[in-house]
Chains A and B, each alone.
Chain A
Amino acid sequence: MAIRNLLFEHREVAGIEEMDVYEKLGGYEGLRRAVTLERQAVIDDVKTSGLRGRGGAGFPTWIKWNGIPKNTDKPHYLICNADEGEPGTYKDRELMLKTPHLLVEGMAIAGYACLGTAGYIYIRGEYVEPAWQIRKAIDQAYKKGYLGKNIMGIEGFNYDLYVHMGAGSYECGEESALMSSLMGERGNPRLKAPHAPLPVHEGVWKSPTLVNNVETYCAAAWILKNGGAEYAKLGTERSKGTKIISVSGHIAKPANYEVEMGTPLLDLLKAAGGVTGGKLKAVIPGGSSVPIMTADKLDKINLDYESCAASGTMLGSGGFMVFNDTTDIVLLMKRTSEFYMHESCGKCTPCREGTRWLFKILDRITSGGGREGDIELLLDICSQIDGRSYCGLGDAAAWPIVGAIKAFREEFEYWIEHKRSPIGDHAVPPTPVVVNPLLTLTPA
């Protein structure tokens, strides 16, 4: 079976969000084991595990941890990226809501290994319920001496953990924008390497900073408890362990599924009860930013970084969206481009203007005003955004459009030629309620 519950092992246990239940089931053993090891040995264990960042990019976690200076000339800050904003993803929500201590433990372990001064869990403002569970877990961990001064009796292991709430911005999930936001600024990204020092050398407040996703820290807690080698037994050659996939859309049993890396995509589809309301048309496997896949290609895709990339898509954050044949891909892409237009931070021109143009053209096509050459125009704008924008949001706005045109070009052509949906009147998503008055002021 494809499902392998490591992080989710105890998610159904009543009261697992409380310290006593969590400890009874082996909680904080990872931290206990970690502090018996040299700091470098903790990082090496993470290296052995092969864990890669679960926030979307899949960067090897141990390299980041190892990059933090081994001295404490400056304070070291650890950030947990809990700004989960990628449409289709809701794994961090469940991890924080059900097993908040796993995250607190993971961040305490990272605090030990990376000589952390303080940690900040940056949670999106909408996630009040998960944040409250984290608040409770942190308070309980302080009481138990897993956080604070001289943690677990170790002289000089001082580490504080704080909650920081966002206020509604997808862009703040991008790590440099997140750092701006944490420092009390607008959520604009910052200059990156090679033009600026890496965050592990100079992040927030010009100090070494580690940024990892919620699932990454949770996996680190599991790894330190069970050993990196144990984690590395699961998965494929280059994608180790498990990945939590959030399944949504036209599917019988939408939920978070923790699967072993390399699980065939169709197995997950089956485990989730299969498509509902029609025939399977397409799947977006990794959140709205990744290219859409047609149903006939799915049997070749496994859920790991390499297999997804080989098929022309990405595993991303694991936002797995299923669409049946009532879905109009052009309308879907219009809604996608609207999301990126709204969330663009406005710092750089290709993204700020480009996302708006993409939306305007797709809006025009789906309002029956499509013109010959619109597809080429869309592709041209995408190529002007992709790789030319200041941060990854621009790229993420372009990829799905390019992917959709590649996979479903005939639907775009149909819209332009016939001025109506190839699916018919009951296509989803339906056209929206109101048109943005600001956008209609300037005709395309």
Chain B
Amino acid sequence: MAESVTSNIREPQPAPAKEARFSELAIAELEEIASHYPERKAACLPGLWIAQREYDGYLPPAAIQEVADRLGLSYSEVEGVATFYTMYNLRKRGRHHLEVCTCLTCAVKGAYEVVHKLEKELGVHVGGTTSDGEFTLSEAECLDFCGAATVMQVGDKYFTQLTPDNVKQVIDELRKSPDYTPAKLADSIVKTLLPGASETGGGSYSVEDLKNPAGPML
């Protein structure tokens, strides 16, 4: 996981702008989730997931500020949380964020060869983003599907049993696919938190659905 220490450190940015980007639906989602806990603060992690979706896959200072404002927390509290967890992106990632597991099992089963192949194929080093903004390449710690080594997470999907030979095919498919983006990952996570969301089959729902206990959302 050598690169992550530096590549997820925020670039210098101006003080957070006072903008609010949460849609009406996002606000309804946050309120629903906050009602699951006795304290609003507990909705901090879910709130950051919503923000990561609303702010296009990463958390600029304005996103942190908005979560803080909506939950009644301080900027620094939320910033502290956002910087602790590796899945919150403090920098913008490529359209597809390739996270190759190089932990124990994957490492002995050839994960580094897969990483080398990707570096060559994409022309970037670990931690880098291709110039067309398509891919960011990272190493990940154990994704806990070791039996299927080598494992790579892209968005909300695991690609498994990767080798230097078959990984190019995955890349080619990803280039064509609109899915598996960081924002899509955040969206999928938010959906798992919402009671009744499975009734929509993972599809879209409205603010009314969220507020109506008899609707498709429980």
Contact = CB atoms under 8 A, between A and B. Distances in A.
Listed residue (B84, B87, B153, B197) with the most chain A CB atoms within 10 angstroms of its CB: B84
Nearest to A326: B108
Contacts of B71: 184
Contacts of B126: 433-434
Contacts of A431: 112
Contacts of A323: 108
Contacts of B3: 434, 436
A187 B103 contact: no
B116 interface: yes
B122 interface: no
B131 interface: no
Interface stretch (B12-20, B34-42, B171-179, B203-211): B34-42
B2 A186 contact: no
B130 interface: no
A205 B198 contact: no
Interface string A115-127: 0001000011111
A135 B105 contact: no
Contacts of A437: 6
Contact of B1 (A127, A255, A284, A342): A342
Interface string B102-121: 11110111111101100100
Interface stretch (A242-250, A260-268, A409-417): A242-250
B48 to A, nearest CB: 7
B142 A85 contact: yes
Contacts of B104: 87-88, 249, 284, 288, 321, 332, 335-336, 339, 429
Contact of A125 (B42, B189, B199): B189
B194 to A, nearest CB: 8
Interface stretch (A46-54, A103-111, A167-175, A370-378): A167-175
B44 A165 contact: no
Contacts of B111: 429
Contact of A428 (B108, B141, B191, B193): B108
A433 B112 contact: yes
A254 B148 contact: yes
A90 B2 contact: no
Contacts of A87: 103-105, 141-142, 144, 146
A127 B109 CA distance: 22
B143 interface: yes
Nearest to A131: B192
Interface in B3-45: 3-6, 36-39, 41-45
Nearest to B113: A430
Contacts of B58: none
A163 B193 contact: yes
B193 to A, nearest CB: 6
A230 interface: no
B198 A183 contact: no
A321 B80 contact: no
B158 interface: yes
Contacts of B107: 332, 335, 428-430
B176 to A, nearest CB: 21
B144 A89 contact: yes
Given A88-B142, A185-B81, A254-B148, A135 B2 contact: no
Contacts of A183: 37, 39, 41-42
Given A142-B195, A321-B146, A335 B103 contact: yes
A47 B100 CA distance: 43
B146 A134 contact: no
A205 B119 contact: no
Contacts of A436: 2-3, 5-6
Given A125-B87, A254-B148, A165 B49 contact: yes
Interface string A325-352: 0010000100110110011010000000
Contacts of B199: 139
B173 to A, nearest CB: 18
A90 B147 contact: yes
A139 B218 contact: yes
A432 B105 contact: no
A179 to B, nearest CB: 11
Contacts of B4: 342
A166 B49 CA distance: 10
Interface string B148-183: 110001001110000000000000000000000000
A11 interface: no
A290 interface: no
Given A135-B197, A429-B104, 7 more contacts: A129-B156, A139-B198, A254-B149, A319-B146, A332-B104, A430-B107, A438-B5
14 contacts: A84-B144, A86-B142, A139-B197, A142-B195, A165-B49, A167-B48, A184-B41, A186-B81, A323-B108, A342-B4, A342-B141, A429-B107, A431-B112, A436-B6
Interface of A: 75, 84-90, 93, 118, 123-129, 131-132, 134-136, 138-140, 142-143, 160, 162-170, 181-187, 205, 246-250, 254-256, 284, 288, 319, 321, 323, 327, 332, 335-336, 338-339, 342-343, 345, 428-438
The 6 closest A-B pairs by CB, nearest first: A184-B44, A429-B107, A168-B87, A167-B85, A254-B147, A168-B86
